Amino acid sequence: MKKATEEASSMRTWMTTKEAADHLRTTPKQIRNWVYQGRIKCYRILGYNYRFLRDDLDALVKLPEFYR
């Protein structure tokens, strides 16, 4: 049987635009700009509502070209 922490870490953590901005220490507007530029992988739901996977955002900040 899995421990609760193992289950939580294996589950996908979805974030809203505001949560992603807080996580990356930027603004929601900048997050949307990066989405339009194709710099951030996102999932669109119901029109212009975006969701981001925390793992994708964490991997993104590790890339040196992210800060250019």
pLDDT in tens, 7-41: 555 568 999 999 999 999 999 999 999 999 999 99
Return the sign of the alpha-carbon dihedral for residues 54, 56, 62, 64.
negative
CATH ID of 13-67, from 3.40.50.300, 2.40.240.10, 1.10.1660.10, 1.10.10.10: 1.10.1660.10
Q: In the 8-state DSSP scheme, what is residue 53?
A: E
CA distances from 60 to 35, 46, 47, 53 (A): 12, 25, 24, 11
User: What is the pTM assigned to this prediction?
Assistant: 0.75
Query: Would you state the pLDDT for residue 68?
Result: 63
